[in-house]
Structure 1
Amino acid sequence: MSRTAGKRDEGEGGAPETPQRAPRLIQNEATTEIPVHLLFRDDTGQTPLPLPPTVVGRRQGTGEQPRTPRRPAPTVAPTGPPVDASPAECAGPACSGPAAALAGTAALTGCGAGLWWAGVVPPLALKLARLPIHEGAELGPAQWAVVAGSGAVALFAFGGLGRGRIGKAWVLSLFGRYRGSVRRTGLVWINPLLRRQRIDVRLKHWRSEPMPAVDANGVALQVVVLVVWRVKDTARAVFAVDDHAGFLRECVEAALARVLSQLPADAFQGGGPTLRNVEAVGDALTRRIRKDAEPAGIEVFSAQPTRIEYAPEVAAAMQRRRIAALDARHRDSLLTQVVDSVEDTVTRLTTRGLVELDDYERKALVKDLTVAFYTGHGDR
């Protein structure tokens, strides 16, 4: 029927009318409508239309699982060591003291000349200075400018003078900002507007009080440490910590807790490293304290334990244990010597043919010699 109707239409002389069909679309549960002709286009010169990054759902009747777009892995910013905000030491602004004193003297001279010009200097002072008496024209604007300017220069010049000493340094700051350090000696001029803080940079030693600690076995100890140190960076010593000497004491206490807890105080049974090896313990303490105190501008040369003792509450018990260990060690060494002496004596007697002994006689001889030698060593 459809073919006959189509031919009949053509026979009537008119062009066949093609019905207008809507474009086929692919549509599912979670995506937008996509025209079919866009999926099969092969136009390389045109840019494809961007699609929304939505979840592609499962199409009905196909058994396909829903797919989600891959998200890029979050980038983690590299983390480094904490930035030290404390300033490092640098040279501060300072000038020659004698030159500043000379400038101040010249300014005072100019101030006196301005007063003489104004005629306000007493005649008696002029006579003593052997200067001509000048009546002047009182203090006018010009005279005031000369006197005020010269006085300000003199005050600024003499106010900044200071005496630099060997082993001392000034840390300069202006409104809380570090401006430099001055290690010069002798007469020095420093801007009087800067705040000065004197710090000792000489080599010093610090002997601690008995500090508590524990060894590897958890036994309480009391340790006295001698630390040789000095301030290397004055800026860090002033601005990085509140009190650099107190900071050093805390570093020593922390280093004692770390180093001494790795070894026993005494090895009662057998050998092995102990805290009695003062040189090794001192080297470990020095490395640890030097590393901890470096951010505060402190240079540590050596840290040696001068005394390592047991705490009073365990001293008596540990002393008895030490004496027992020494006595046992002495007995072992004495018994070894006696056995060696008996063996050597019996061997010589039998080797040279002085005696002929059977097993019973040999055992009896060994017993008698052992008692004799042990008694002889015990009487000494």
Structure 2
Amino acid sequence: MLGLFGRYQGTVRRTGLLWMNPLVLRRRVDVRLRHWRSEAMAAADPDGMALRVVVLVVWRVRDTARALLGIEDHETYLSECVEAALARVPVEPAGGTRGGVTVAGEALTRLVAEETAPVGLEVFAVRPVRVEYAPEVAEVMHRRRIATLDARQRASMLSSVVDSVEDTVTRLTVRGLVELDDYERKVLVRDLTVAFCSGRGEPT
């Protein structure tokens, strides 16, 4: 980029010999595609729980004059824009759906691109590459996740036990091996349920 007495004079993108006024100030600008990886930033999941997110931004300088005259440090400005976007876009935590991460990335890309366009930067992608719960809530969420998995496992086990008990009682009565009234049938169902649960290592 060329400047004279603080005023923009133009941009030279070609190589080779070029005659130039010695009073003109020349500043080199890298217009190649670049990648910037952030530090862990504050964010929130769809339920409002605190997260720490690391994002990867793919960007380049599109308008050299605006990029140099409008802001001092490109990466600092990108960091501020990403941080502002994360405050508006919920992000799926680790272990969430792949589609949720993709949707969050698309929303972040759109917001950051809109924010950086006026200062001559072009943003192609903003991707969350690491998402984890903030330290102050990580232990709580870990216990909640374990409790959810345990509840699902117990529900699945109980369904399997009920099916096994029903099948056993039906076979005994259909084949005429036992004759049971309502009370005896309830007692047998209870005893079989206890036996099957004990065999699976579940407390009765």
Same fold by TM-score greater than 0.5: yes
Q: Distance in 2 between matches of 1:227 and 1:209?
A: 12
The corresponding residue for 2:54 is: 224
Matched, 1:277 2:100: yes
RMSD, aligned CA: 2.8
The corresponding residue for 2:136 is: 313
1:208-254, Cα deviation, whole Å (9 max, x unpaired)? 11112233444322111111212222222112323222111111101
1:294/1:355 CA distance change after superposition, 3 Å: farther
Among candidates 243, 246, 256, match of residue 73 of structure 2:
243
1:350/1:311 CA distance change after superposition, 3 Å: same
**TM-score (structure 1 length as normaliser):** 0.47
Among candidates 332, 347, 353, match of residue 155 of structure 2:
332
1:87-107, Cα deviation, whole Å (9 max, x unpaired)? xxxxxxxxxxxxxxxxxxxxx
Equivalent position amino acid for 2:109 in 1 = T
Identity %: 62
Equivalent position amino acid for 1:183 in 2 = R
After TM superposition, which residue ranges in structure 1, 4 or more long, deviate above 6 angstroms? 273-276
Larger % of helix: which?
2
The corresponding residue for 1:297 is: 120
The corresponding residue for 1:344 is: 167
Q: Distance in 1 between matches of 2:71 and 2:113?
A: 16
The answer to whether the Cα contact below 8 Å between 1:221 and 1:308 also exists between their aligned partners in 2 is yes
Equivalent position amino acid for 1:173 in 2 = G
Asked which structure has the greater CA Rg, the reply is 1
Equivalent position amino acid for 1:221 in 2 = L
Q: Distance in 2 between matches of 1:266 and 1:210?
A: 14
The answer to whether the Cα contact below 8 Å between 1:217 and 1:264 also exists between their aligned partners in 2 is no
The corresponding residue for 2:82 is: 252
Stretches of structure 2 lacking an aligned partner (at least 5 in a row): none
Q: Distance in 2 between matches of 1:219 and 1:320?
A: 14
1:318/1:275 CA distance change after superposition, 3 Å: farther
Among candidates 183, 206, 209, match of residue 36 of structure 2:
206
SS in 2 for 1:305: strand
Give the Å deviation of 1:313.
2.4
Equivalent position amino acid for 2:38 in 1 = S
Relative contact order: is structure 1 or structure 2 higher (C-alpha 8 Å, sep ≥ 6)?
2
SS in 2 for 1:378: coil
1:258-303, Cα deviation, whole Å (9 max, x unpaired)? 102xx67589xxxxx8799322222222222222222222222222
